Each structure stands twice: as C-alpha cells, then as structure tokens.
Chain A
Amino acid sequence: MSGSMNHHILSVLVQNRPGVLARVAGLFARRGYNIFSLAVAPAEQEGRSRITIVVDLDSAPLEQITKQLFKLIDVIKISELDPRRSVERELLIATVRAGTEARGAVLELVTIFEGKIIAVADEVLTVSLEGHPDKLDDFEDLLDSYGIVELQRTGRVALPKLDRGARLRAVN
C-alpha cells in the first residue's frame, strides 16, 4: 500500500497558524501534485508544527514541489527525507472480524506483529499496530483475509536517521 518506490518524504516545518494546513494542501491541489499521505502535529518548538508529506513523484518533480512549497510564507524549513536515510513510523488501527473460529488466528497474528488488542466484542476485535509503514502493509494484507470491518492509518511520520552507532537502534 505504501508503494514506496515512487514516493518521497518531505518534512515541512511551518509556523503553527490558522490555515497553514489549508495552504499546504491547497498548493498541492492547485499545482496538480499528489499527496500520498500527510501527518501534522506541533513540533518541538513552540509555535511550530511539522508536517510530514509523502508525495507521489509521478505527478511532478520533487524539486519543483519543494520550491513551490517554500514560497508559502508560513513554511520555515523543508527537509527531504530519503527513505534509506530516515526512520519512518505509522500507526494503524483496525476492526477485524474475529468470531470463535478465527479469533485464535487473529490473536496469533497480532502477537507475531507485536500489535495490541484495544477493544473486544463478540464477533470483532479492534487491533492496533505501530511500526514501519511496510510492516503495517503486511499486517493489513494478512488481516484482510479475516475481513477488515474498518481501518484507519495515520499516515507516516519521519525524521532523519541519526549518525552511526545510534542507527543500530533504528531498525524496522
């Protein structure tokens, strides 16, 4: 699902002001660029937010997208994150069919992926999994065979990989 081949990740630091997300989204729409996923939340510094945008490179060259984005007055900094040199995380929650017959198998799958059961009902379970988007893709595929009732992913967030040493801790 993440189809990361033709995607690039932009980490965009913005002033946290009303309408900033609309400006970014509007720019993508107006210039015909495609957003694959988008996550936004306040950043480490007060008054700043970080937007992680996964862009579809078939729609436009990254350089042009970055330059147009940087023309937005509220955009302070844009870092292009190479997937090979960044750490990426995403959260998935899904409600899955898990009647008596399938329940054991679903639980096993959640255990293998180190996911969590966050709600239980007679015929369904709601599960969550945090991790690299590729791992979430696999998990989603496997869950699908039991029947996904509803699913929500957050879209990925990413930061640059740290230098040597610390990198060891950044495995998927």
Chain B
Amino acid sequence: MAETRPDRITGAQALIRALEHEHVELMFGYPGGCILPAYDPLLDSEIRHVLVRHEQGAGHAAEGYAHVTGKPGVAMVTSGPAATNLVTPLMDAYMDSIPMVAITGQVPTAAIGSDAFQECDTVGITRSCTKHNELVMSPADIPMAIRQAFHIATTGRPGPTLVDIPKDCLIAEMDWYWPTDQEVLDSLPGYRPNIKGHPRMIKEAAKLILASERPVVYAGGGILKARAAEALRDLVELIDAPVVTTLMARGAFPDDHPNCLGMPGMHGNATAVTSMQKSDLLIALGARFDDRITGKVDAFAPTAKVIHVDIDPAEQGKVRKPDVPIVGDADYVIREIIREIRARQAEGATQADTSAWKSTISGWREQFPLTYEMSEPGAALKPQYCIQQLHAHAPEGTIVASGVGQHQMYASQFWRFNEPYTWVNSGGLGTMGFAIPAAIGAKAARPDRTVWAVDGDGCFQMTAQELVTATLEKLPIKVALLNNSYLGMVRQWQEMFYDERYSEVFLDSSNTPDFVMWAESMGCAGFRVESPEEVAPTIEKANAINDRPVVIEFRTDAAEGVFPMVPAGASNDDLILHPSQQDRAAALQEER
C-alpha cells in the first residue's frame, strides 16, 4: 500500500481533502471569485455544502452546528465583502467560545496589497475576532494550516479560527501530505492548553466546599464546551448544593432538578441572583463573571469565597479575584474535585450544615417565581405565554435557537431546559438576527430533532433571507416570531431609564412587512396568531409540518417588560422585581 510517488494535486483539492481528513461532513458557504477553485473539487466530495443566502448566515449556521454537536462548524466564503460579512459570526463565536473554522478566498499572492478587486486584509480585520488566523502563501502549506486551524479551534478554550487562501495557492499543484499530530504540536510551541488543574488547588476546593454553609454552583457555558454536564450533576448531587445556569449554560443542568435555581444575572430570576449575592462560596465552573451576571462588580456576592474553574488562565482574576483558581478542563477538574471530596469523606470529614441555607432558598423560590400576568381578552398576547405553550407542545429533545432581545430572555426564562445542547443563542456579542441561521445549522446537524427559532420582529428582518436556504436545502426549521412592532428591549430601557421617551424603537411592523406573506414567499408555511386560544392549536399545526419551514407570527404586547431586572451598572441587590412582586422585595434582603 506504500505510496511510491507523491500524490500531485491542486491546492484546492488539498483543501477539500484536508477537510475530509478532519471529518467534516457538513459545511456552510457561498462561492465567489477567489474561492472558486475550491468549489470545484467540492463537487466530488462527500462533504455536504449548504448554500446560504448571505455569508453572515454561513457563519451563524456553522455556529449553530457547533453548538449542538460540539464539533467545529465550517464556513467557506470568498474574499473581500464575503470575508467582512463573516466578521460578526467570528466575533460571536469568539465571545461564546464556539469552535468554528472559517475558510476565506484571497486575491492571488502577487496581487496582495495592490487593492485588487475584492481584496481586503482578511487576517488583519479578523485578528481580534479569531482565536488564531493564518494567511497561507503556498499550496504546500494548506494541509498544515487546516490541521492547525482545527486543532486550535477545538482544544483549550474553543473558538473560531480562519484560514485565508489566495487563489493562486488553490490553483497550483502540491505534493499531498497530511501532518502528524506531533508535527502539529511542534509547529505550535507556544500552544499547550492546561487540562488537569493543579492538585493542590483541587484539594483546596474540596476543603472549601465541605466547609461552606451557603454554597452556590455557578455553572457557565464551559460546562457544555467540556461535555461536563454529567460530572456537574454528580458534583451537585454529592454536595446537594443549589445550581444557577447562566444564559450560556441553559440545559447544562436540568431545570426540573430540585437543585436548579435557573438563570442568574441581569434578567435572572430573583432566587438565582440573590442566592449568589448571599452565598459564602461560589463554585464557578466554566463561567467568566460576565458583567451581565455580576452587575456592579464591587457589590457582587460580597460575602462569597470563590472557586474558579476555567480552562483559560486569563479568566482567573480578570473580573473577580478567586480564592481558589483552577486552570483546567471543567469535566476533568470536576471529577477530580468529586474524587477529593469522597476521599475526605471516607476519612471521616463531614460537610457543613447547609439546611438553613436550603430553607432560605426554598422560601425565596416560593415567593419569587418567574411570573407574568395573562393578557386581557382581546388584547395582544403575552410573549411569556407563547414560549410556555411552545415548550408544552415541543417533542422531547427539541432545540431552541434564539435571537437577541426580550424574546431571548423570555425564551431562556420560560422554556424548561432539561437536556444539554438544546439551547443555541448569542450570549456575549448579543447578535441580533442570530436565530434563523443558527437554527438552520442546528437542524442540519440534528435533522431528527425539532428546531424552533425564537425570534423578534427586529431580529427576523436582519436574517430572514436564510429561510430560503432552509426551504431549498430541506432544513425545515420552525420560527416563532414574537412581533410586538418594537425593538422591545431598547424600548424597555427607554421606558425605564429615559422617561418613556421612545426614540427610533418603533419598527411599525404590524402591517409592513407582512410576515406571513414573506414567509410563504420563501417557501415556508406562515401563520399569524392574535388571540390566546389560537396559540396552542397553531403550534400543533406547525409541529405537524415537516416538509418545509414554518413561521408563526405571534402578535405580542409591546408594553410587556422582562423582569426581574438589574439595571446596567447597578448592584444585584437592587434587583427590580416583576411589578406584582415588588411589595415583597424586602424579603430578599432580610432572611440572611
């Protein structure tokens, strides 16, 4: 079988072969001038290519794919405007630590720097929104560049990488080779992510956990990245501690589990927020103390010691100085902490009494559930009700993708997430228009699952064209469009902090566009729902349609706000409760 003569192939063939060697089964892209040569060998490949309608859609679809599979999403586009259209998804993936590999065409090497047609400095532009990027200058370098890109994207703290390939490098021939693992490591002498965590710190963590009377497990997106949901559950059940799951970690721990307090942060529920504030030990696992979680940092969890497990050393102490920093893979480290706790217990150590803490928390949970008031007959729908009904009728394993804004918060608050990798959203960057392309990526990865995109009327108008992709590529996603005719979240801020002076937030989308006609024109089934009694039947109708995408437009109440809310920059102690609970606010402070 030994190959005697070198396999002489073009750079383009090498690129596609390299992707096959990286086990790529599915990619998202859009061809154009400079990347043209790569699209020819793609015809002969087993790799499925989903042709999007805008390069941003390719990027978000790749992210959606990566969210639900854990495998790197791949997007391939041409140079210039196509590369700049990828900037938003790259930044989105960077903020949310999504493994993703982008391949961009570039003008021929001889033309680089000459302001050639569709030239842009792609590696320059994407340097600060990728974990790493590389401009290939010879066809012989393509296999190594691709191997490095996949290795870097998927190891350590995952993130997006980009390989920029000039057209002449795709056209010219090279002797095929596939670098070994060792060659890849040798080529990256400065890149050695730490997996194991320091044994002394792990011991220290176990000691603090056993001594804590008011522990809270603060689970972040890193749990999902590290495939650590099972380890997390083992730890929580071992120490019987309450858990909060951040916006990036919804589904990492089951909402229906008695220890789950739900989402903390700016729009977190009162119990999740307050339990962190009053805790004596935060066990932060794959979480990065984002400003949307901490509120005013100086006032965040003032009495808590902090164990911070994160694979990225730069997250340790970036926002909050940890008492026990542990740099390592969440799954590995959690298992080590469990082992250490068990060992101590076997030697007779006992856990501090947490019963008073548990009863305080259950008191809060009883008094401060997430809530809303049902709409009056004939009035616009409550968005929370729509989400609850979607969830109530969703088949098991349903994946929810969301845009950014009020509808995102309602979805995170009122959907019950009980399975990892069923929630796909843009947390760090807050990218409006994320839902539809991300849902397409998720559906392409998991065709057996129902995939709902929860969208707003603002978001929908940013990326709706990808529903054409969904129809023609036979990726029948479902879109729940909560139309309140406003940029709802911005409107809410103007209502609360700008004396109800509404500036440029009225999208006036009750007639224009006609979302149902628009959906139908893109090959989708379209429904409009205006009254509560139509909600469930229409959802059932949508669930029964599997041969094309569905869009349900729910006409929702523009005056509805997301509660609870910690105003930007305020302390988490100054949480604004739902209006119906505000008379009880003192109860959150007194039961210390």
Contacts and interface: CB of A to CB of B under 8 A. Distances in A.
A164 interface: no
Contact of A22 (B127, B188, B190, B317): B127
Contacts of B189: 15, 76
Contacts of A153: none
Interface string B175-193: 0000000000000111100
Given A15-B190, A18-B135, A76-B189, A71 B124 contact: no
A26 B128 contact: yes
A10 B317 CA distance: 20
B132 interface: yes
B230 interface: no
Interface in A8-24: 14-15, 18-19, 22-23
A68 B127 contact: no
Interface residues of B, number: 18
A14 B127 CA distance: 17
Contacts of A27: 128
Contact of B191 (A14, A64, A73): A73
Contact of B124 (A22, A76, A77): A22
B318 interface: yes
B312 interface: yes
Interface string B312-335: 111011100000000000000000
B24 interface: no
Nearest to B187: A15
A73 B190 contact: yes
Contacts of A67: 313-314, 316
A22 B189 CA distance: 19
A7 B191 CA distance: 27
A9 to B, nearest CB: 20
Interface string A28-71: 00100000000000000000000000000000000110011011
A68 B314 contact: yes
A25 B316 CA distance: 23
A75 interface: yes
A16 B124 CA distance: 17
Contacts, number: 41
B317 A64 contact: yes
A73 B132 contact: yes
Nearest to A13: B190
Contacts of B318: 64
A151 B191 CA distance: 40
A76 B317 CA distance: 22
B36 interface: no
B127 A26 contact: yes
Contacts of B93: none
B244 to A, nearest CB: 26
B317 A19 contact: no
A75 B190 contact: yes
Nearest to B135: A18
A84 B132 CA distance: 35
A49 to B, nearest CB: 12
A82 interface: no
B577 interface: no
Contacts of A90: none
Contacts of B131: 71, 73
A77 B311 CA distance: 18
A15 B187 CA distance: 9
B352 to A, nearest CB: 32
A19 B295 CA distance: 37
B428 to A, nearest CB: 15
5 contacts: A19-B127, A22-B124, A64-B314, A64-B318, A67-B316
Instruction: Please provide the 6 A-B residue pairs with the shortest distance between their CB atoms, ordered closest to farther.
Output: A67-B314, A76-B190, A73-B132, A75-B190, A30-B128, A73-B191
Interface of B: 123-124, 127-128, 131-132, 135, 152, 188-191, 312-314, 316-318
